[in-house]
A and B are shown apart, each in its own frame.
Chain A
Amino acid sequence: MAVKALYNYKFPARDRAEVFGDDIIVYAYWLDNPFFCSASAWRVPKNMKWKDFVGQIFGQLYGLDPDFKKVKEWKWYHFDSEFKPDDEKTLSELGLRHKSIVKFKPA
């Protein structure tokens, strides 16, 4: 369906990828842990290395959970598919795109 309007109702998406230039929005979600009240949102460079991305989200937010340090290894998902990111690869090399969500839980 489409919006009913008196005129041609077409506007660019407000948060489309090009608005963010070389950056993308990536969401992160710790599965099975509702202590964090929702997934988080991050503006990060497309060519940020995976390990730096993980360092940022764990360092700033997820490390606040007292149970965080008990976890030795994490299992990752891009949307709903399991994936095994290489630490040295960039987000775009790993197939992440604007408004991708990565989910994780203790392996």
Chain B
Amino acid sequence: MAKKKLTLAQKYHIYTRGLDWEPTYVSKKDIYPYAEYEGIKIKDWNKWEDPFRMTIEAYWKYQAEKDRRFYAILDGFIQNQGHLTLSDARYLNSIKLFIQGVTPLEYMAHRGFAFVARHLPGAGPRTAAFFQSMDELRHTQIEVHAGSNFNKYYDGFHSMTHMHDRVWYLSVPKSYFDDAVTAGPFEFVTAISFSFEYALTNLLFVPFMSGAAYNGDTPTMTFGFSAQSDESRHMTLGLQVVKFLLEQHEDNVPIIQQWIDKWWWRGYRLTSLVGAMMDYMLPKRVMSWKESFELYVEDQIIEGLFRDLERYGIRPPLHMEQSIKEKEFLSHDVYWILFSFTFAAAFHSWIPTEAEMEWLAEKYPRTFNQYYRWRYEKAKEAKTPLPGDRFYYIGLPQLCQVCQIPMGFTDPDDPNNFVQRYTEYEGEIYHFCSDGCKWIFEREPEKFVQAWLPVHEIYKGNCFAEPPKGPDDVVPQVLRWYNIQTDNFDYFVSEDYKNWKEWHKDMATVLI
């Protein structure tokens, strides 16, 4: 008799839970040592409902197909010298930020999900985490491949992993993920699968990828589509994890709530870099940070997701109100920081053109002309001895102990000043950019007192290629340690700009 074909659900069950077993000579506790210390209580792992049913067999096929498409488009782009048809070379600075800041996080996500795939006692979520771990590794690879083509022609792409571990602004994404992977498996999945993948990933990927499409960067756009189809799987995992934990035991509710409070704010601070990219670094803009925040956070997350979670006893994250109040300031603050410190960064910045300032004023009628435009006028006057006819902040900034961003977030209630918070813990003082970061510190001070703050590390002498020969040699030795070569300073004095003009000298279409 012919064997009956299995349904997808049966097949999936055999491929995943069917491979699990009850240990006989080792205790479950010894196999899963991280399962209990976070205080999460699971009554029945079998109540886990698989958010997607993808078998390994289907997974290979599906991902291989996407990779074929991606590499075909990348090859075409390379052979046709596609980089010459970008909107203009300023665009690539957003991709530099992405490759230096986000790509190494994809790799860390791969590691984090591998850890979860090993350490959660439930076979269902372990399998889902395993798929995600592979996804993240694949994302790292295709991003590196997409970036390696640009590395042949442009600065800032040559040393991403080295820079990620050392450079001041990259300590922001690095410390975010280090915080997550040093948490237990349940906090990790809540932090990354839920708070980041579910609540914030649209804010990162959609504007980035539409930005790539608008500015002629087909490899990044294709990578984006490829990754985004995984992201939707990651998002359903994130939501299922949180709902499952909430349903399992009422004692889990306050724990999950605190993780959501913490990781919402951490993720939101991290995505402020995206805000600067969207509003300032894309020559052809898609939408403003504020518009995207309203769409993805206010409409979809607060009005949608958190309404849905109300019945589990979950409320919107603490400090959400503050992020709403900041929406007309955030991107301007962050770009102004990046602009001020471009002498020590592996990307370029520039004074927005008049047309771009008009766009900013139109999108931010209550803030741009009032609080930001004058800074760029002044930056033309306040010259320094460094390359580029403009101001640089010749000094080191005070950093937030938690998010590690220079303390430059405007207080919406006092828009000529930045928020300044501090606390004392075991006789030492700690400073914060916001109530959100201060709250996070006070919840787990033992963790954040260990922060590797780039500014303090420079002052401790830990960031020099060789000991500086004098005060003028300090910054050059830090830059050598960072492996920043000709990647810094204003765009209009950069190799990128010089080359761009040279490559387009016979074309009438170069706008800038």
Contact = CB atoms under 8 A, between A and B. Distances in A.
Contacts of A94: none
B39 interface: yes
A99 B341 CA distance: 22
Decide if the interface of chain B is mainly helix, strand, loop or mixed: mixed
A4 B37 contact: yes
Interface stretch (B20-28, B42-50, B131-139, B444-452): B444-452
B394 interface: yes
Interface in A22-38: 25, 27, 29, 31-38
Contact of A100 (B184, B337, B417, B429): B429
Contacts of B443: 1
The bracket for how many chain A residues form the interface is: 35 or more
Contact of A37 (B336, B382, B456): B336
A74 interface: no
Nearest to B471: A60
Interface in A2-28: 2-6, 9-17, 19-20, 25, 27
Contacts of B456: 14-15, 25, 41
Interface stretch (A45-53, A61-69, A85-93): A61-69
Given A27-B398, A39-B407, A101 B422 contact: yes
Contacts, number: 135
A25 B422 CA distance: 15
B34 interface: yes
The bracket for how many chain B residues form the interface is: 35 or more
Contact of A60 (B37, B395, B452): B395
Decide if the interface of chain A is mainly helix, strand, loop or mixed: loop
B434 to A, nearest CB: 13
B449 A14 contact: yes
Contacts of A17: 428
A78 to B, nearest CB: 12
A41 B395 CA distance: 8
Contact of B449 (A13, A31, A32, A43): A13
Contacts of A9: 446-447
Given A34-B417, A35-B375, A64 B398 contact: no
Interface of B: 33-34, 37-39, 184, 333, 336-337, 339-341, 371, 375, 378, 381-382, 384, 391, 393-399, 406-408, 410, 416-418, 420, 422, 425-426, 428-431, 442-447, 449-453, 455-456, 459-460
6 contacts: A1-B444, A27-B398, A32-B417, A37-B397, A39-B418, A64-B382
Given A38-B418, A98-B429, 13 more contacts: A1-B443, A9-B447, A13-B425, A14-B452, A27-B398, A34-B418, A39-B420, A61-B394, A65-B378, A66-B381, A79-B422, A99-B430, A101-B398
Interface of A: 1-6, 9-17, 19-20, 25, 27, 29, 31-43, 57, 60-61, 64-66, 79, 97-101
